[in-house]
Structure 1
Amino acid sequence: MPENASNIEIERKFLVSRRPDGELVKRQSIRQGYIAREAGNTVRIRQKNDKYILSIKASKGANERYELEYAVSEADATLLFKLCTGPLIEKTREVYSFRGHLWEVDIFHGANDGLIIAEVELDSADEQFEKPSWLAREVSHDARFFNAYLFSHPFVGWGLSYQELLDGK
């Protein structure tokens, strides 16, 4: 896969200890499902409000992944959603601005209800950034918090409360 800055995703993920404060930039309703998942690579269909996106993600290294996204029609998305197995991921995404970065806070519903994860996308793997006070522990390297994992292993089946997750379990 050719490498350029537009198709590399560098992100860090954190649990959220309380509702974020600060400037709410936007709110989106999201549902997504996975068509293929293998060895850290995924093909996903996502609906963000009234837009449909086919995404291909492939592992590149620590905190980095290749990401390609393509707009698709509602009719094509409907067909692709039918190809997904397992419960769709449903969430509300709130985007907050904090000290020069946009933070995406995903509030999960359905089979992942109760889970709240914040992500920040960075320009480089070693970029420094200030963390908002509403963040809890980092979960960037914990595969349980990847959407592809949550699709096949929903939070409802983990046998843990969100508070237990905040406490490090």
Structure 2
Amino acid sequence: MQEIERKFLLKNDSFKKEAYNSYSIKQAYLNSHKERTTRIRIRGEEAFITVKGKSSKSGLSRFEWEKNISIAEAEELLQLCEPGRIEKTRFLVKVDHHIFEVDEFYKENEGLIIAEVELSSENEKVKLPNWIAEEVTGDKKYYNSYLIQNPYKNWKK
């Protein structure tokens, strides 16, 4: 149950032309401690509770456990969450053998777009599409749990 992923900022929104699917996501945190987080997420017509551990030193991997729950349960649990919500659209883009999940954020995080790609090992090679800008893997300010407490709109440009 180890999650291995890289994160990137984007140059532009040309990824949208390549996306084969998209859906809305609404999420909040029951717990956003730096050692572990517990997230409630509604993704399209599905809902999940997810526990994530502390990131490795490289920022590439961390423990992740996820379980499907009903949307009704998720809506109830969202009422217990810490203040703040993440609202975004996730676009799925296939590039060679990988699926890039590109999140376009709204509300307090309007203007932020992040691409993530999951890997099977930390050394796995990935072909980066031309819309990728800089890598931000391991930069905690791009974690959703951080964005709730320190929204993108408050960052100094």
For the aligned pair, the TM-score class normalised by the smaller chain equals: over 0.9
The separation in 2 between residues aligned to 1:133 and 1:149, in whole angstroms, is 27
Say whether the 8 Å CA contact 2:53–2:62 is kept in structure 1.
Answer: yes
Change (3 A) 1:41 1:145: same
1:1-169 aligned at under 5 Å gives the runs 7-21=1-15, 23-59=18-54, 61=56, 62=58, 63-160=60-157
The separation in 2 between residues aligned to 1:20 and 1:56, in whole angstroms, is 32
How far off is 1:48 after superposition? 0.3
Query: Aligned partner of 2:29: which letter?
Result: Y
The separation in 1 between residues aligned to 2:111 and 2:83, in whole angstroms, is 19
Q: Give % identity.
A: 38
Q: TM-score, normalised on structure 2?
A: 0.93
In the comparison of the two structures, how many residue pairs are matched?
Answer: 154
In structure 1, the gaps of 5 or more residues are 1-6, 161-169
Query: Aligned partner of 1:36: which letter?
Result: N
Say whether the 8 Å CA contact 1:13–1:140 is kept in structure 2.
Answer: yes
The separation in 2 between residues aligned to 1:137 and 1:42, in whole angstroms, is 26
Superposed structure 1 runs of 4+ greater than 3 Å apart = 20-23
Structure 1 vs Structure 2 CA RMSD:
1.3
In structure 2, the gaps of 5 or more residues are none
